[in-house]
Amino acid sequence: MSDLVDKARDEFLSETQEIIDRLSRDLLLLDATSRVGPPDPDLINAVFRGVHTLKGLAGMFNATRLSAMSHELENVLDDLRMGRVPLTAELLDLLFRSVELYNRVLAADKAQRPEEADGEYEAFMRAVRSVRAGRDGAERNSQPYDLDPGILAVLTQYEEHRLRACVDAGLNLYRVRVSFLLTTIDDGLESLKNSLKPLGEILTYLPTGEATEPDAIELEILLASGADIDQVGEALQHLRATLEEVPRRRVTTGAPASPLTPVPASMQPQSVEPAPPTTPPVRTSLMPGPAESLAAQPAARARRGEVSLRSVAQTVRVDIERLDHLMNLLGELAIVRGGLARIVDRARLDPINRELARELGRLQHAFERHLGAMQTGVLEVRMVPLGQVFEKLARVARQASREAHKEVNLVITGAETEVDKLIGEELSDPLMHMVRNALDHGIEAKEVREQVGKPPVGTIALNAYQKGNQVVVEVEDDGAGIDRQALIERALRREVITSEEAAVLTPQEALQLIFVPGISTREAAGKLSGRGVGMDVVKTNIGRLGGVVDVHSEVGIGTKLTITLPITLAIIAALMVRVGESVYAIPLSSVQEAVMLDGASVRTIEGREIVTMRGESLPICRLTELFQLPEPRDPSRRLLVVVAAAAARRCGFVVDHILGRQDIVIKPLSGPLRGVSGFAGATELGDQRIGLVIDVPSLLEEALASSSLSRTIGAAHG
């Protein structure tokens, strides 16, 4: 019984999180559209429906605080959509604040520590009630109109409010009759909305019950638009529709009603000829919400009853722990594959078992093929678009810009780029710190920007793209840039580096100071940043994911932070190498090539071994020395070098033997090995041995360390 309760609770948490995320997206759209024109009533209604759904869901699962919050918000949103309260910046702030509090309350309930959000919850409820206390208490004054009683009789209170608001705004009213096949009504309605939305507002859908075909349904749509009838007719040419303008009469108090300007002949009911028919996609669906809520004719109901009852949705929710379990099983199968390959190789060497070896070889190839397909399939299921993370950052950027009193445009590209679900979640906090830093430290005040000839509104650009088996995420701003000299002076005051080291720092090494704990480009801490811990968190979290972060900045132009990450940490392809008596795995996504070099070609520059490859200098690192393994150095011995790269850094790792490519599952290190820098985890090799997985970014940082600064940064995040 407890398993069923836990499963239902997990389903509730998952569905609630989806509604909250959708609510956040709708609020961002509402905020953006309300800045350039009147609030979009469809978006306000979408937010209202989301909160209403959340209230019902919370009530079913006895989530009292979520339910109470939603109830109060629903009342405010109902006042907003009915015109009783205006959409102000303060009200938008409160709605965005509700999203943050929803997430905190949900997290507290999940952890079974509801008291964690008590203080903020009570303050929020007082703020919401104060909004309702200051409302008008009634709709805005509206000029009464004598409209068709047949229309008014079937409109909801909200639809009638929107109708009168549109009439008050001087918009024309049109009645559109359109017929759809039941099997294509979803696509037809979507096409209709896409055609009419740019012209005005669809107020309601009314089923007429007068369809001419047994498998069709006819709808009557009421449209409010500033366009003339010819423009509306042109937009409906691809549909089987008729169009007419709705005449209306203004009612003057104390005087008889007089008709409005007569409808000219050109605006009388007209038939809109459809474009040449195309083969519609086969889809089964019922009527959408607005039309389904109205009573339809018995014949129409009977026809709808003949539609298949199979669910239209083709998706299911899967707990990420179940996918983790599948990945572990696939990892075990990968180990079995390696053992099977060794058995096949031994059988081929035995003349007696050659026939058996051939049979085993065929089975081995089939097993590898199907296992590879399973791995690809499970990895694809775990992938999520980075847009889910970027949407949260848009909310953070809006709140931060208001707190900093700066105007900023957040430009997002590459939101469709996919990463593993767990990597996407872990990436949220580093990106949040980077966006806040860009806004607080980088973007200048409006007056300062205008003085130097920049647009008054700053820009923060988020860009993501796939590069081989890695994902690159860039955060760029057009702000003031990073003052390297100021960073060096702060590092000297904190005794992070000596004056001798400061004198020989390269510009790129100076920028790395922003990752040292306690170092900030701001003298005093503000609300958003300035404590010298944000970028420290960024580097720590990115390093934990096997990634690397680079920084480029020009004073007066801006700053660009680049994160390079593996797409997934579940199953990775690795190059297996032997160093001394130990076996190590190097993620193949970081390997560029493997070459043999003459030991005599190695030269030492400033304490670092360098070789020349294709006219370029390549630092090399002897893993035997780095791992403190016993091995006498022979300058004349040829070197086997694996060239690895992370972002812009390259290094050649000297190994003894290359054992081949292998798909591995990384297990976290535990016990005394936990927290050892240079290793991302361990993996089973299939012969009862364990191999360590090399963390290429951190190992490159350690191998390329040329100053105490680099060693300080590496130690701080090891």
Residue 241 pLDDT greater than 90, yes or no? no
What are the C-alpha distances in Å from 51 to residues 45, 62, 65, 258, 288? 10, 16, 13, 43, 19
Token pair belonging to 471:
């994902």
Give the mean model confidence (pLDDT) for residues 384-413: 87
Residue 287 pLDDT greater than 50, yes or no? no
603 in Cβ contact with 555 (< 8 Å): no
Q: What do you get for the CA distance between the two ends of the chain, in Å?
A: 45
Nearest Cα to Cα of residue 585 among 636, 541, 642: 642
Q: What is the DSSP letter of 310?
A: S
Give the mean model confidence (pLDDT) for residues 388-410: 86
Which of 75-89, 240-254, 312-326 is modeled with the greatest confidence?
75-89
- Collapsing DSSP to helix, strand or coil, 521 comes out as coil
Q: Percent of the chain at pLDDT above 70?
A: 80
pLDDT, position 675 = 66
Domain 2-133 part of CATH 1.20.120.160: yes
Residue 141 pLDDT greater than 60, yes or no? no
Angle formed by the axes of helices 354-382 and 320-349, to 10°?
160
Nearest Cα to Cα of residue 442 among 475, 469, 479: 479
DSSP secondary structure string for all residues of 338-388: HHHHHHHHHHHH-GGGHHHHHHHHHHHHHHHHHHHHHHHHHHHHHEEETHH
Residue 464 pLDDT greater than 90, yes or no? yes
Give the count of beta carbons closer than 10 Å to the beta carbon of residue 573: 15
Residue 393 pLDDT greater than 80, yes or no? yes
Place of tokens 């709709």: 139
Per-residue pLDDT band at 2 (split at 50, 70, 90): low
420 in Cβ contact with 383 (< 8 Å): yes
pLDDT, position 413 = 93
* Helix H or strand E encompassing 530: none
pLDDT, position 472 = 92
The Cα 520–Cα 440 span in angstroms is 12
Nearest Cα to Cα of residue 405 among 526, 523, 524: 526
Token pair belonging to 267:
């605006």
**β-strands 558-566, 470-477: how paired?**
antiparallel
Alpha helices (H) in 438-583, listed in sequence order: 446-451, 484-493, 499-504, 507-511, 534-544
Contacts of residue 436, Cβ cutoff 8 Å, sequence gap at least 6: 396, 400, 528, 529, 534
Report the phi/psi class of residue 379: left, alpha or beta, with left for phi > 0 and alpha for psi in -120 to 50. Answer: alpha
Q: Which CATH number fits domain 145-305: 3.30.70.1110, 3.40.50.720, 1.10.8.590, 3.30.2350.10?
A: 3.30.70.1110
Alpha helices (H) in 178-245, listed in sequence order: 185-196, 229-235
714 in Cβ contact with 706 (< 8 Å): no
Per-residue pLDDT band at 642 (split at 50, 70, 90): very high
pLDDT, position 149 = 62
Per-residue pLDDT band at 633 (split at 50, 70, 90): low
Nearest Cα to Cα of residue 234 among 190, 185, 270: 270
- State the Cα angle at 250 between 247 and 254, rounded to 5°: 145
Contacts of residue 554, Cβ cutoff 8 Å, sequence gap at least 6: 481
Beta bridge partners of residue 553, listed in sequence order = 559
Q: What is the DSSP letter of 635?
A: T
What are the C-alpha distances in Å from 273 to residues 220, 234, 235, 241, 481? 17, 10, 11, 7, 59
Give the mean model confidence (pLDDT) for residues 664-675: 74
**Domain boundaries 572-717, corresponding CATH code:** 2.40.50.180
Per residue, the 3-state secondary structure of 673-695, as one string, reads: HCCCCCEEEEEECCCCCEEEEEC
The phi, psi pair for 445, rounded to 5°, reads: -65, 155
pLDDT, position 707 = 45
Tell me how long the chain is: 718
Give the mean model confidence (pLDDT) for residues 73-95: 87
Nearest Cα to Cα of residue 105 among 16, 23, 25, 27: 16
- pLDDT tens column, 9-39: 777 888 888 888 889 889 988 888 888 878 8
Residue type, 63: A
- pLDDT tens column, 174-187: 888 888 777 777 77
* Helix H or strand E encompassing 672: none
Q: What is the DSSP letter of 599?
A: G
Token pair belonging to 660:
């081949």
The Cα 384–Cα 547 span in angstroms is 18
Lowest mean pLDDT, pick from 394-408, 508-522, 576-590, 601-615: 508-522
* Torsion, CA 675, CA 678, CA 681, CA 685, rounded to 10: -140
Give the mean model confidence (pLDDT) for residues 218-227: 82
Contacts of residue 39, Cβ cutoff 8 Å, sequence gap at least 6: 30, 33, 87
338 vs 125, which has greater pLDDT? 125
Residue 294 pLDDT greater than 50, yes or no? no
The Cα 290–Cα 288 span in angstroms is 6
Residue 476 pLDDT greater than 90, yes or no? yes
* Helix H or strand E encompassing 518: none
Residue 556 pLDDT greater than 70, yes or no? yes
521 vs 618, which has greater pLDDT? 618
Per-residue pLDDT band at 643 (split at 50, 70, 90): very high
Q: What is the DSSP letter of 444?
A: P
475 in Cβ contact with 438 (< 8 Å): yes
101 in Cβ contact with 121 (< 8 Å): yes
Give the mean model confidence (pLDDT) for residues 446-459: 90
Residue type, 190: E
pLDDT, position 688 = 67
**Domain boundaries 386-566, corresponding CATH code:** 3.30.565.10
310 vs 577, which has greater pLDDT? 577
Contacts of residue 303, Cβ cutoff 8 Å, sequence gap at least 6: 182, 211, 214, 215, 217
Predicted model pTM: 0.67
The Cα 458–Cα 449 span in angstroms is 8
The Cα 246–Cα 243 span in angstroms is 10
The phi, psi pair for 133, rounded to 5°, reads: -65, -25
The Cα 633–Cα 641 span in angstroms is 15
Q: Percent of the chain at pLDDT above 90?
A: 9
Nearest Cα to Cα of residue 201 among 41, 396, 31: 41
Beta bridge partners of residue 481, listed in sequence order = none
Give the count of beta carbons closer than 10 Å to the beta carbon of residue 530: 17
pLDDT, position 355 = 85
Give the mean model confidence (pLDDT) for residues 161-167: 78
The Cα 647–Cα 655 span in angstroms is 22
